[in-house]
Amino acid sequence: MVIRNLHRLSRLFQPVSVVPKNAEVKRHDITSKSQRLMLELGIIRQASPGCFHFLPLGVKSLEKLTRLVDEEMKKIGGQKIIFPTLTNAKLWEKTGRLETVSSELFQIKDRHDQSYILSPTHEEAASNLLASLAPISYKHLPLKLYQITSKYRDEMKPRFGLMRGKQFLMKDMYSFDTDLETAKHTYDEICKSYDRIFRRIGIDFVKVVGCSGHMGGELSHEYHYKADVGEDKILTCNKCNYSANTEVSGEEKCPNCGNTSVKIHLGIEVGHTFLLGEKYSKPLNATFLNNHGKPDVLQMGSYGLGLSRILAAVIEVMSSEQEIRWPQILSPYSVIILPPKSGSKEETHIKDSGLVDSLYEKIETTCNLQDNVLIDDRTNFTIGRRFLEAKKNGYPFIVTLGKKIVENPLLYEITNLKTNETLFLSENDLMNYL
User: 3-class DSSP state for residue 190?
Assistant: helix
* Residues near 21 by beta carbon (within 8 Å), at least 6 away in sequence: none
Least spacing, CB of residue 218 vs ligand ATP, in Å = 16
Can residue 197 be called a binding residue for ligand ATP (CB under 6 A)?
no
Can residue 396 be called a binding residue for ligand ATP (CB under 6 A)?
no
Closest to ligand ATP by CB, 217 or 271 = 271
Can residue 386 be called a binding residue for Mg ion (CB under 5 A)?
no
Site string for ligand ATP, 87-126 (x = CB under 6 A): ----------------------------------x-----
User: 3-class DSSP state for residue 170?
Assistant: strand
Binding partner selected for residue 161 from ligand ATP, Mg ion, none, CB under the kind-specific 5 to 8 Å limit: none
Least spacing, CB of residue 321 vs ligand ATP, in Å = 23
Site string for ligand ATP, 349-388 (x = CB under 6 A): ----------------------------------------
Q: Tell me the H-state helices in 104-179.
A: 123-131
Closest to Mg ion by CB, 172 or 269 = 269
Can residue 332 be called a binding residue for ligand ATP (CB under 6 A)?
no
Sheet holding 136-137, edge to edge: 136-137, 287-289, 295-297
* CB-neighbour burial class of residue 362 (10 A; exposed 0-12, middle 13-18, buried 19+): middle
Can residue 224 be called a binding residue for Mg ion (CB under 5 A)?
no
According to CB under 6 A, which residues from 223 to 252 bind ligand ATP? 231
Can residue 97 be called a binding residue for Mg ion (CB under 5 A)?
no
* CB-CB contact of 210 with 222 (8 Å): yes
Binding partner selected for residue 309 from Mg ion, ligand ATP, none, CB under the kind-specific 5 to 8 Å limit: ligand ATP
Can residue 271 be called a binding residue for ligand ATP (CB under 6 A)?
yes
* CB-CB contact of 411 with 425 (8 Å): yes
* CB-CB contact of 147 with 171 (8 Å): yes
DSSP string, 283-304: TTT-EEE-TTS-EEEPEEEEEE
Single out the residue of 118, 197, 209, 270 in contact with ligand ATP (rule: CB under 6 A).
Answer: 270
Can residue 279 be called a binding residue for ligand ATP (CB under 6 A)?
no
Nearest-CB residue to Mg ion? 272
Closest to ligand ATP by CB, 32 or 121 = 121
Can residue 171 be called a binding residue for ligand ATP (CB under 6 A)?
no
Can residue 309 be called a binding residue for ligand ATP (CB under 6 A)?
yes
* CB-CB contact of 120 with 83 (8 Å): no
Closest to ligand ATP by CB, 7 or 159 = 159
Ramachandran region of residue 250, left (φ > 0), alpha (ψ -120 to 50) or beta?
alpha
Can residue 155 be called a binding residue for ligand ATP (CB under 6 A)?
yes
Rounded to 10 deg, the angle between the 180-201 and 56-75 helix axes is 140
Can residue 165 be called a binding residue for ligand ATP (CB under 6 A)?
yes
- Measured CA to CA, the distance from residue 391 to residue 434 in angstroms comes to 17
Can residue 267 be called a binding residue for ligand ATP (CB under 6 A)?
no
Sheet holding 115-118, edge to edge: 86-88, 115-118, 106-109
- Measured CA to CA, the distance from residue 399 to residue 404 in angstroms comes to 12
Single out the residue of 269, 346, 376, 389 in contact with ligand ATP (rule: CB under 6 A).
Answer: 269
* Exposure letters 197-226 (e unless 16+ CB within 10 A, then b): bbeebebebebbbbbbeebbbbbbbbbbbe
Q: How many CB atoms lie within 10 A of CB 278?
A: 18
- Phi and psi for 49 in degrees, rounded to 5? -55, 120
Least spacing, CB of residue 247 vs ligand ATP, in Å = 8
Stretch of 13-21, 122-130, 264-272, 336-344 contacting ligand ATP, by CB under 6 A: 264-272
Can residue 168 be called a binding residue for ligand ATP (CB under 6 A)?
yes
Least spacing, CB of residue 41 vs Mg ion, in Å = 28
Binding partner selected for residue 224 from ligand ATP, Mg ion, none, CB under the kind-specific 5 to 8 Å limit: none
Closest to ligand ATP by CB, 270 or 367 = 270
According to CB under 5 A, which residues from 255 to 294 bind Mg ion? 269, 272
Least spacing, CB of residue 241 vs ligand ATP, in Å = 22
- Measured CA to CA, the distance from residue 208 to residue 213 in angstroms comes to 15
Ramachandran region of residue 385, left (φ > 0), alpha (ψ -120 to 50) or beta?
alpha
Nearest-CB residue to ligand ATP? 306
Residues at the interface with ligand ATP (CB under 6 A): 121, 153, 155, 164-165, 168, 170, 231, 269-272, 304, 306, 308-309
